[in-house]
Amino acid sequence: MRVLACIKRVPITGGRILLTADARAINTQHLGFTMSPHEECGVEEAARMIEAYRGDSVVLTLGPPEAVEQLRDAMALGIDRAIHLQTDGQEWDAEGTASALTDAIRTEEGASGRFDIIFFGNESADSGGFQVGARVAHALGRPLVTGLKKVTLEGSAVRCEQEVEGGRDVYVVPLPAVLTVKEGLNLPRYPSVPGRMRARTRPVAVSTPARPAPRLELVRLAVPAGQGRRAESLGAGAGAAPAVVEMLQKAGVL
Amino acid sequence: MTTVLVLMDESDASRQALTLARQFGEPRSMRMDAVKPFAPDAVAAALARAADDLNVSAVFAPGTDRGNEVIARLAARTGLPFAANCIAATPGDPATLTRLRWGGSLLEEARLHSPRPLITVAPHTVPADSGPAPVEVDVKAPAEADLVVRVVDHVAPSNGGLSLAEAKVIVSGGRGVGSKEGFAIIEDLAGLLGAAVGCSRAVTSAGWRPHSDQVGQTGTKVTPDVYIACGISGATQHMAGLKGAKRILAINSDPQAPLMLNADYTVTGDLKEIVPAISAEIRKRR
Ligand SMILES: Cc1cc2nc3c(=O)[nH]c(=O)nc-3n(C[C@@H](O)[C@H](O)[C@H](O)COP(=O)(O)OP(=O)(O)OC[C@H]3O[C@@H](n4cnc5c(N)ncnc54)[C@H](O)[C@@H]3O)c2cc1C
Ligand SMILES: Cc1cc2nc3c(=O)[nH]c(=O)nc-3n(C[C@H](O)[C@H](O)[C@H](O)COP(=O)(O)OP(=O)(O)OC[C@H]3O[C@@H](n4cnc5c(N)ncnc54)[C@H](O)[C@@H]3O)c2cc1C
């Protein structure tokens, strides 16, 4: 079988978000980068499927040259090879992102065969547009199931569990399918040293698509006002216990 | 005045979406469960048809999982841009809006160039509309192709225990708890308080607790009366899950940890001494 995972490079923002001077982006000068936890679970699931059923797994990203780090991270988790649609660092809107991904998927499938499953994150960690997977699925004419916490192959179909209030809804759809997943789908492995070494030698196919004008146009970003919590000290060490208990009593929970 | 279409269920989030929708026109509504069992493509198709029939100027939905998923499908099939999780929106050409990024840790001001804006409204960011319920539109029988993706079964929640999302008190542990076994003192205090146990992503990634305990952007958003954070630094993605917490008590050896600066109450020191001392104090007073 063939499985694809789509990932996006995002900064690890830590305790406080700092913006660039023009307030159009996060100041990432001192930050590390990662793929979103949702997408990492998609990568892990793709790797496990190919380990179980054999075949070919591919990871795809649209992003700046440095996004090759996240592609290598995915290959360290077991993905066979990568496709990198390189941008000049400018951001794309979700429509533009989806159409570039769709084109790349069509080209890849034309050369190497259809993907049985394409994994996306339910939403990206940074922009949270909730839509790239839906747009790609529609363009390819494939069924889409979203927000999944469990995925099981059943012959030529896939059983999907989606978290909802009061449990999980179940969908069974025929392959090929597009699935968007959430963290908790699985516990991604910690990449082994040999896995990391292997990832360095695995192939990354690079191309540079043209960026269409965005229709959802970013004007500026802002950090929301704090919630005005006062941080009153109840003391230090075990001696603070009585003050804590009094606070809990006042709050009416004890 | 133009007509707008609002996808609604029984949630408060739907009444909040209605508030923003009224700024764009006279609302008509469609039910989220217009097609039973739930079939998101069929709902999206019905929305597309109703939007054309009524020539609506915009389509709104609550920024819940269901709302976002249906509008994403509507956007895909109509080729229109979609702005998810907005907290403000003004009609115009382009429409201007403010939306949440990073699970609410960052705001984005944007312009939406579209003949028919598709907008979901982030839950609990806009007051709920208390006006009359909009008139519902009729939904025709769905096409077979739009029923390929539909709910065929439901499984009950696996842990019969306290739901994190609804818990009134949560005792939550981070990397500072040190190990899976270290959570015994967290569970003991939670037991005394009738509280749910929560944790940070550092803890779930290490395999100490299941992901269903994780609080934050990619975990659960919680709304307790009291949230007790033990050995959690307070990364923005963790704080994104705490916006609805009434009171936060932070216990941390580092007084400068972001959570210590964004809490209502703090205790500085080693959680391995402080948490058992709080449990002992509660027992003593019983
Ligand atoms: C400076 C700056 C300017 C920006 N300008 C705009 C703008 O004008 N308009 C706008 O809409 N957005 C803008 N963005 C955000 C933009 O990069 C979005 O992230 C992009 O539109 C994709 O949408 P999304 O992340 O919301 O996708 P979602 O729909 O939330 O993503 C869902 C899933 O799709 C996949 N996916 C998403 N992006 C990629 C990718 N690049 N490669 C591979 N898979 C991917 C992942 O699996 C992800 O989990 C800007 C961001 C910055 C920092
Ligand atoms: C896209 C994305 C999404 C994410 N989503 C989430 C999410 O949903 N939820 C989440 O929690 N994280 C999330 N994260 C991860 C987040 O960025 C942090 O890495 C994580 O929250 C850190 O967990 P922590 O506070 O337990 O660990 P650390 O940051 O390592 O903090 C440990 C704290 O414990 C204190 N400490 C250590 N020993 C003791 C002791 N003996 N007594 C008292 N205090 C002690 C330290 O001073 C420190 O403050 C996400 C990250 C990304 C990039």
Query: Is residue A53 domain-resident?
Result: yes
Task: Please tell me the predicted confidence (pLDDT) of residue B163.
Answer: 86
HSE-up of residue B209 (Cα within 13 Å, Cβ side): 27
- Could you tell me where the DSSP H helices lie in B212-284? 236-239, 258-261, 271-284
Query: Is residue A226 domain-resident?
Result: no
Nearest of B35, B46, B23 to residue B95 by alpha carbon = B23
Question: Is B273 a residue whose pLDDT tops 90?
Answer: yes
A252 interfaces chain B, CB cutoff of 8 Å: yes
Question: Is B286 a residue whose pLDDT tops 90?
Answer: no
Query: Is residue A52 domain-resident?
Result: yes
Q: Could you list the mean pLDDT of each consecutive 10-residue stretch along chain A, which spans 254 residues?
A: 97 90 92 96 98 97 97 97 93 92 98 98 94 98 98 97 92 98 96 93 95 89 86 96 97 93
- Asked if B106 and A236 come within 8 Å (Cβ–Cβ), the reply is no
Does the fold of domain B164-284 match that of domain B3-147?
yes
Nearest of A143, A9, A120, A125 to residue A64 by alpha carbon = A9
Task: Give the A:B interface size as CB pairs under 8 Å.
Answer: 260
In a mutational test of the A interface, the residue from B71, B120, B248, B274 whose CB has the highest number of chain A CBs within 10 Å is B274
B3-147 is classed CATH 3.40.50.620: yes
With CA atoms as reference, the chain B residue closest to A19 would be B106
Contact residues, chain A, for B213 at CB < 8 Å: none
Q: How close A138 gets to chain B, by Cα (Å)?
A: 6
Q: Where does ligand 2 bind, in terms of residues with CB under 6 Å?
A: A 10, 12, 34, 36-37, 125; B 174-176, 200-203, 214-219, 231-233, 235, 237-238, 241, 252-254, 257, 270-272
Nearest of B113, B227, B240, B115 to residue B168 by alpha carbon = B227
- As a whole number of angstroms, the distance between CA B14 and CA B130 comes to 11
HSE-up of residue B172 (Cα within 13 Å, Cβ side): 39
Average pLDDT over residues B188-205: 97
Q: Which CATH number fits domain B164-284: 3.40.50.1220, 3.30.420.40, 3.40.190.10, 1.10.1040.10?
A: 3.40.50.1220
Query: Is residue A196 domain-resident?
Result: yes
Query: Is residue A217 domain-resident?
Result: no
Task: Please tell me the predicted confidence (pLDDT) of residue B159.
Answer: 62
The residue type of A157 is A
Task: Please tell me the predicted confidence (pLDDT) of residue A228.
Answer: 79
Instruction: Return all residues near A101 (Cβ < 8 A) that are at least 6 apart.
Output: A6, A60, A62, A85, A132, A136
pLDDT-derived band of residue B41, with 50, 70 and 90 as boundaries? very high
Domain spans of chain B, in order of start: 3-147, 164-284
Q: How close B235 gets to chain A, by Cα (Å)?
A: 4
A143 interfaces chain B, CB cutoff of 8 Å: yes
pLDDT-above-90 percentage for chain B: 95
**Which pTM was predicted?**
0.94
Count up the domains in chain A and report the number. Answer: 1
Q: How close B39 gets to chain A, by Cα (Å)?
A: 10
Instruction: Return all residues near A202 (Cβ < 8 A) that are at least 6 apart.
Output: A72, A75, A79, A80, A81, A82
Domain holding A63, by residue range, is 2-207
